[in-house]
Amino acid sequence: MSKQNMIGFAADGANVMMGRNHSVSTLLKADINDLFVLKCVCHSFHLCASYACEKLPGEVEDLARNIFNYLKSSSKRLKDFSSLQYFFEFKANKILHPSQTRWLSLSAVVSRLIEQYDVLIAYFSIAVKEENLQTAKNILTSLKDPITKLYLLFLEFALPFFIKLNKLFQSESSQIHKLHSSVKEIVVTLLECFVRKDYITMFLDSTSEFNLPPECLLDLESIYLGIKVECFLITNEINVIEIDTFKNKCRNFYIEAVLQILKRFDLNNSFFRNLSIIAPDNVYACTYKSIAPLLQQVPRLLADNIQEIDSEYRTLINFVKDKEQILDIEEYWRMVARIEIGNEQAFPNLVKLVFAILSFPHSSANVERVFSQVNLMKTKIRNRLENATIKACLQTKGLLKLQNSDCTNFKVTTEMRKKCNKAMYDIPK
């Protein structure tokens, strides 16, 4: 592939890919000055959550890991635990294992622990009497500590903010136009939990380094930690000093989370902010009268037709539209591409530009899925597949998915049938 055809590059934040000195991104930028470069959003938010959780006691993650390891090491223990689940009329769900590399998986682990909390206390109370192991005693002590459950309830509330955004940008369709608004939304939501409201707008509008003076912070009594935490504090008698320590650590979690997000995403970046111009909702609402602010950000994608693009956009926002038809941004602009006036495409220049912008990468998740598919194809039995065969298999899978079909209803075209001849087995030498 020619470098001149490259318009964007996304990868994880490893130094070899995104480092300042002699990385893949710097070498590409040296050859293509206006190349769009973005660290994978999914990897970035994974790191944000990981750094924030370092502000909480490590005993919570250790508890989850110890419970899983204790149960998995014995089929008898698993059977006994399952029997208790049946006795207490709980769902027979397994205890999950916290992943070492995919930190956001801890959210599912936390939710499962909370779901099975009473059963776990009952099980380890019996295990301490029957087996008398120190591991079981330590786990039971942690489970009976109300502060442990408070941290679990807080994580159940806080981690989904990161997971929601992570899932959004793992999408196979383009979501880059939502990056600025989605990141801003989570930052504002986190700030509202521990910062006085009159300071939030000031932080968002500031171009200086993120800093939180003490006077802008809510007092510990006013910090929002989730409704389940509030209810638990009301219904349980806990030492005031322990509660203050817990709330202070949760506030540190919030501060670190916002700090890490703002280190990775510049909310004052005009390019990401202006991408909302092409969002279907804004086109329908005529929020922007011109696409000019966005055109200034993508000179490499433009020819000498700036005025034509802007005129087409101004025409489009006043065009008769049926909002019920639209599901997402790609479907919307495909519909716009099909609009004709006098047997000619109505918005050719605008559509070409928008599809180029939607080609900008926002994560490497989709590429990683392709690698996973290749690994599934190249088994021990089929370990000598050539690149052409792998490419053909990937394209076939993609076509079946695009058409929402399978081997029972796939329509074979005449052109496909013609290619099924003796020449198809010829191997180039």
Residue-range domain boundaries for the chain: 1-39, 41-268, 278-358, 378-425
Q: How far apart are CA 74 and CA 7, in angstroms?
A: 54
For residue 102, the model assigns a pLDDT of 56
Three-state SS annotation for 345-387: ECCHHHHHHHHHHHCCCCCCHHHHHHHHHHHHHCCCCCCCCCH
Q: Which of 195, 197, 230 is nearest to 213 (CA)?
A: 195
For residue 39, the model assigns a pLDDT of 81
For residue 277, the model assigns a pLDDT of 93
For residue 321, the model assigns a pLDDT of 63
Residues of the chain with pLDDT under 70: 1, 99-104, 206-209, 320-327, 364-365, 427-429
Angle at 330 between CA 326 and CA 332, to 5 degrees: 35
**pTM for the whole structure:** 0.82
Per DSSP bridges, beta strands 340-341 and 344-345 are antiparallel
Q: How far apart are CA 366 and CA 325, in angstroms?
A: 27
For residue 320, the model assigns a pLDDT of 62
Report residue 377 as tokens: 């194809």
192 C-beta neighbours (distance < 10 Å), count: 14
CB 400 within 8 A of CB 406: yes
Q: Which residues contact 259 (CB under 8 A, 6 or more apart)?
A: 210
Report residue 53 as tokens: 């959780």
| Angle in degrees, 0-180, between the axes of helices 146-168 and 41-53, rounded to the nearest 10 | 170
Each residue of 338-384: pLDDT tens digit?
988 888 899 999 999 999 998 888 776 677 778 888 888 888 888 88
Each residue of 220-268: pLDDT tens digit?
999 999 999 999 999 999 999 999 999 999 999 999 999 999 888 888 8
For residue 208, the model assigns a pLDDT of 62
331 C-beta neighbours (distance < 10 Å), count: 13
For residue 322, the model assigns a pLDDT of 62
For residue 29, the model assigns a pLDDT of 83
Q: Could you tell me how far CA 267 lies from the centroid of its own chain?
A: 18
Q: Which of 155, 150, 162 is nearest to 43 (CA)?
A: 162
Q: Give one DSSP letter per residue of 58-126, joined into a string.
A: THHHHHHHHHHHHHHT-HHHHHHHHHHHHHTT---PPPPPPPSS-GGGHHHHHHHHHHTHHHHHHHHHH
